[in-house]
Amino acid sequence: MSIIRTDEQAEALDILKLIIETADFYRAMGELLTQENVNHQLFEIANEREAYIEPFRKVVKELGELPEAPDSDKEWIDELGGKMTKWLSVDSTHAILEKCLKKDEVLADVINKTALGDQSTEFRKLLDSLYDHLAHTKKRISD
């Protein structure tokens, strides 16, 4: 492991952290909506998203880097923002779902800009699968 990260290592770490953050956020927002007796697919989406954690940990390791956990303070602030949205919005369910989709847009943007897919076909397939999952999630939430 080098002191200086390559672009690919940094991108793989960013993607891994965003996968974990978004999965945690979906789960937390699902808990908020469940309190209102609203049953959304957020828990299912969180579970699907979590399935990408281990494969991306392997990518990070294959690139010679150690996986890092997301910033727990940042996640807590994001969840607090979701709670504030629930309290302050006229249509809290819609507002929370929009927050979820905005987090997914950040992840999709990182996937679109990464050169990781050039490293191997395995990485490309994994990135394509994650991107498809994001698109499917957007469709499910938007409908």
Q: Which domains does the chain have, with CATH numbers?
A: 7-142 (1.20.1260.10)
Instruction: Decide if pLDDT at 2 tops 60.
Output: no
Q: What is the pLDDT of residue 87?
A: 66
Q: Is 45 exposed, middle or buried (0-12, 13-18, 19+ CB in 10 A)?
A: buried
Q: pLDDT digits over 102-123, tens only? A: 999 999 999 999 988 888 899 9
Q: What is the pLDDT of residue 65?
A: 83
Instruction: Decide if pLDDT at 43 tops 70.
Output: yes
Q: pLDDT digits over 55-104, tens only? A: 999 999 998 887 777 777 777 777 777 777 776 667 778 888 899 999 99
Listed residue (83, 111, 123, 113) closest to 99, CA to CA: 83
Instruction: Decide if pLDDT at 37 tops 70.
Output: no
**Average of per-residue pLDDT values in the chain:** 86
